[in-house]
Amino acid sequence: MTHHIIGKLLQGRYQVVQSLGAGVFGQTYIAVDVDYPENPKCVIKQIKVNSSESGYLEMLRLLFLTETETLKLLGSHDQIPEFIACFEENERFYLVQEWIEGHALTAELPIDEYFGCLWSESEVVEFLIDVLGILEFIHSQGVIHCDIKPENLLRRDRDCKLVMIDFGSIQSIDFGIGAELPIYRIPVTSLGYIPPEQFIGQTQPNSDIYALGMIAIQALTGLEPLQLKTDPSTNEIFWRSQNTPVNDYLAAVLSQMIRYNHQDRFQSAGEVLRVLKQIIWEPQPSETLEGDSQFSLEVAKNSASGKSSPLLTGMKVGLAANSLLMGFGVYSLVNTAPAYSETDTLFNATKEYQAGDLEEAIALAKSIPSHSNVYPEAQATIEEWQEQWQVAAQQYEIAQLAFQESRWSDILHAAAKVPKILYWQSKTDKIVQKASLNIEAQTQDLLTKAYERAAEKDFSAALQYLRQIPQESRAGALVQDKLAEYNRKRQIRAAYFLQKAYKKASIGDFDRAVKFLKNIPSDTLVYAQAQVKLNEYTQKKRVLADNQKIASAKRTNLFVPKNSVTKVEYLQGVNYLQEVNIR
């Protein structure tokens, strides 16, 4: 395949010049765009096609169109290659994306724990914050990358920023759980970075967080994921040894990123970012230095309560011995928030409200004294909270009832009306994800049935199946195209039946003519004309049948019955049929 495509001109525009390698989902190439004078490079991915059957190709075409729409959205981020084009040629599907000049992160990682430069803690934190920002955007678009590894993170030459590439394995969060991932289908370079749940088709957004955590540990230790040992009883990974001088705080963050059970990990990229951004690198007075290499790290305190940040709850961080040699000066994690004020109270009340404790939020807001400048805002906020909370609860109940009754579209309508309260949105999102999964499964089933009926030329039935597909389906554009296509084909087929009826009637075969006319759907353009001819041909068919009876009776020397056709009527019928034949 690679040998045949090198040098070819695809779409009359993209000339393939080099192969970049093959993966589970297809082959990747470098091409040049001959439409531009400078012939800029681009990346072309040829999607693997395992069958040439029409049903399989239609399904692949649907998935291809769906995922390309996702890639267009992702490409709007500065650290993701821009989507350029997609096309189908000779029953092969191609994606064209921006070419990134740079090198893979693999070149920057230590080869082992003794050879190559291990990364400092500050370098690891900087790396994590950079990539988590990209992941936060990707997950906000409703997709999971599914293949985060050093090869898929490029250091861009022009600005030294990290760029995330190879979205060939992306999975839609909304589209639902995928199939199990057989070990033989996984590229060798991905092993160790893929979390356990991904192998059994239960990929989560924080599956990407697991992979990122493994890369960070590799940078700190020089050990690749498959070199790390696991606890046979808990399946948790042992990565921190005496040779890994890492602060307890950062170690706890990394350990929670790679927990075996995805429910025990950080649940979102934003959550990890908030924890890491509590680290404020700040030089301390020079008398605390020991050769410019001693550092201290403290956990940020909540200014109102004095408690540790709730984001660290459950991490079981031992912070008594946080001093550590880190590299260039004493730094501390401190809370730089201003002194306590009524604004802080309202802020904390808002956090309680978003977390789902309406009573505590209102109590905090009411504690603000009436002489405070914040008091009017607090009172207005309380009223707004109560109204929004009631709306959110009502819409959630509507969504639950719709779920019980399998009204998937109604769930999405209700969810869209839920106010921006994290507590209620997170509860509703769980139902929405299941509803979206059912909508897409229903869509696939109806599309398959529509394709089957269309293959049998039964376009009316195919259209009925297409019209049952929910508008919220991600296949909306394809459905509209197929509706137009099948309606056009049905009109053509109806006109064809009418012409066939004319031809059969012209040779006196009214029985066949009537059968053709009865196959013409009522909502086609030629239906009215077909009904006129149906009445005409039905009458002629009856006259012809009567004439045949008379002729048969004469051949057998039988008299015509008293109530049957008269001789005059018989002659009139013959003349009538002759007129039809002349026409």
CATH number, domain containing residue 34: 3.30.200.20
Active-site residue numbers?
A: 147
Tell me, yes or no, whether 62 and 134 share the same domain: no
The pLDDT, as a whole number, for residue 246 is 84
Element (H, E) at 402: helix 375-404
Identify the weakest region by mean pLDDT among 92-96, 289-293, 318-322: 318-322
Q: Which value, in Å, is the radius of gyration of the alpha carbons in the chain?
A: 35
For 518-531, what is each residue's pLDDT tens digit? 999 988 899 999 99
Looking at per-residue confidence, does 467 or 24 come out higher? Answer: 467
Tell me, yes or no, whether 122 and 64 share the same domain: no
Taking the C-alpha atoms of residue 6 and residue 227, their distance in angstroms, rounded to an integer, is 38
Residue 125 located in a structural domain: yes
**Residue 478: CB partners within 8 Å, gap ≥ 6?**
61, 62, 65, 447
The pLDDT, as a whole number, for residue 188 is 65
Tell me, yes or no, whether 194 and 123 share the same domain: yes
Identify the weakest region by mean pLDDT among 41-50, 77-86, 180-189, 201-210: 180-189
**Is residue 366 pLDDT above 70, yes or no?**
yes
The pLDDT, as a whole number, for residue 79 is 95
Tell me, yes or no, whether 222 and 265 share the same domain: yes
Residue 457 located in a structural domain: no
The pLDDT, as a whole number, for residue 387 is 93
Would you say 45 is a known binding-site residue?
Answer: yes
Residue 289 located in a structural domain: no
The pLDDT, as a whole number, for residue 124 is 94
The pLDDT, as a whole number, for residue 340 is 43
The pLDDT, as a whole number, for residue 311 is 38
Residue ending a domain, choose from 418, 448, 478: 448
The pLDDT, as a whole number, for residue 433 is 85
**Is residue 213 pLDDT above 80, yes or no?**
yes
The pLDDT, as a whole number, for residue 436 is 86
Mean pLDDT, rounded, of the chain: 78
Residue 505 located in a structural domain: yes
Tell me, yes or no, whether 75 and 106 share the same domain: no
Residue 478 located in a structural domain: no
DSSP conformational letter for 84 = E
Tell me, yes or no, whether 87 and 43 share the same domain: yes
Q: Could you tell me the pLDDT band of residue 116, with boundaries at 50, 70 and 90?
A: low
Tell me, yes or no, whether 410 and 535 share the same domain: no
The pLDDT, as a whole number, for residue 192 is 86
Element (H, E) at 19: strand 14-22
Number of domains in the chain: 4
Residue 219 located in a structural domain: yes
Residue 308 located in a structural domain: no
Range of the domain at 243: 102-277
Report, as an integer, the average pLDDT of 552-580.
Answer: 53
For residue 32 the two structure tokens come to: 């040049």
CB count within 10 Å of CB 262 equals 20
Looking at per-residue confidence, does 463 or 200 come out higher? Answer: 463
Tell me, yes or no, whether 132 and 61 share the same domain: no
**Is residue 219 pLDDT above 90, yes or no?**
yes
Report, as an integer, the average pLDDT of 414-434.
Answer: 87
* CA count, 13 A, side-chain hemisphere, 75: 18
Tell me, yes or no, whether 418 and 548 share the same domain: no
**Is residue 418 pLDDT above 50, yes or no?**
yes
Tell me, yes or no, whether 49 and 92 share the same domain: yes
Tell me, yes or no, whether 372 and 416 share the same domain: yes
Residue 285 located in a structural domain: no
The pLDDT, as a whole number, for residue 17 is 92
Is residue 12 within 8 A of residue 58, CB to CB? The reply is no
Q: Could you tell me the pLDDT band of residue 285, with boundaries at 50, 70 and 90?
A: very low
The pLDDT, as a whole number, for residue 307 is 38
Of 314-318, 397-401, 548-552, where does the model show the most confidence? 397-401
- One-letter amino acid of 8: K
Residue ending a domain, choose from 427, 448, 469: 448
Tell me, yes or no, whether 123 and 252 share the same domain: yes
